[in-house]
Each structure stands twice: as structure tokens, then as C-alpha cells.
Amino acid sequence: MSACADVVCVRDKSGTLEVPLVSRASPPFQGGWFLQSGAIFNFRPVAQFVLWKLFREAGVCRGGIGDFINTHFKNTTAGLSCHGVELILPPLGVYRTAAHDCLPGKIADTLNVAYLALWPADMSFGHDEDHAAVRWVTLPELLKDANLCGHWYPHRLATRALQIVNAAKEGIVA
């Protein structure tokens, strides 16, 4: 089992809340729509790792985590925001996932801690070389198609994040 940190971005585009999903170019979950995520492979604060992974997978930055942290978090260890992207605490939760599209006889068994981030509407969002495409989805799209992502985990987190941000926007305690 490996430990992963994942992030669900939500942006408000002209009054419509939406979440970006990326199509994975290779296993695990190849061809499915997933969240920005990655195996935690270093000894950095998880919040900084999540922001680095998010910016890298969104095509906003290149390079390693060390350079990212030295550039953006010189004077702090908190690292809860960067370039207008705000990481919301506490995490959305801890989940266990499994993917069967790995090497023959292997399963990608992960323990995932999931975060919510608010992405500025005017900031570009693309994808890196590990992903084939990016698409933005809304809560009605997710509620209409329970298999939109191809796996329960990104679908559940995207739905939950949009519900939380929508409730906060409307002043409802979620």
C-alpha cells in the first residue's frame, strides 16, 4: 500500500461551480477521469506537496518539489496558499482505493488523504505529460452520471467538494 495526497479544485466560473478532472495517460486508472494526485514520496509538509502536485499536473509549473517550495514558501512552513490558489483545511477525508490496471497480477492499493482547493476562475488550468486531457465538470453533471469518472473515488470527491463549496457560497452549514 502506498500513501497518496489528492486535491479537488473548485472554481466559480461566472456563477457556476466546477471541478477539473484529468484523463490519465497511463496506469493506474488509465483513460479514466481523475483528480490531481500523487504518491507522497518525500519528507515535505503535505499541504506544500499537494500544492506542488496540483500546479505541476495543471501544467502551471515544471520541476521538482524542492524548487517549488524554495520559490513559493521561503519564509513559511504552512504553505496553504499559492498564486491565489487556497488549500482548505481540514482535509475532505481519508480513503482507500485500488486499481487493477497495473502490471499483470498487481493492484495499486493506496491510502489517499483528500484535500479541497479553491482555484481562481481567471487562472489557466491545463495538464501535464502524465495526462491526456482535462475537462471541467459541474455538480449536475456528476449527479446525472454516476459513472462519469469511471471510478467511485474521484466521482465521490468531486461531488462532495462541489456540495461543500456550494453550501458555503449559499451560507449553509454543511
Q: Considering just the CA atoms, what is the radius of gyration of the chain in Å?
A: 16
Give residue-wise pLDDT tens across range 62-82. 888 888 888 887 665 555 888
Higher pLDDT, 142 or 45: 142
Q: Which residues contact 102 (CB under 8 A, 6 or more apart)?
A: 27, 28, 108
Look up the pTM and report it. 0.88
Cell numbers 488509465 correspond to 30
Nearest to 34 by CA among 141, 146, 153, 139: 153
What is the model's pLDDT at position 75? 62
**Average pLDDT, stretch 29-34?**
83
The answer to whether 174 and 60 have CB atoms below 8 angstroms apart is no
Q: Are 2 and 39 in contact (CB under 8 A)?
A: yes
C-beta of residue 137 within 8 angstroms of C-beta of residue 154: no
Taking only the tens place, the pLDDT of each residue in 99-144 is 776 666 677 788 889 999 999 999 999 998 888 999 999 999 999 9
User: Mean per-residue pLDDT for 5-31?
Assistant: 91
Q: Find all residues with CB under 8 Å of 19, minimum gap 6, and list them.
A: 8, 9, 10, 136, 137, 138, 158, 161, 162
**What is the H or E stretch that residue 81 is in?**
strand 81-82
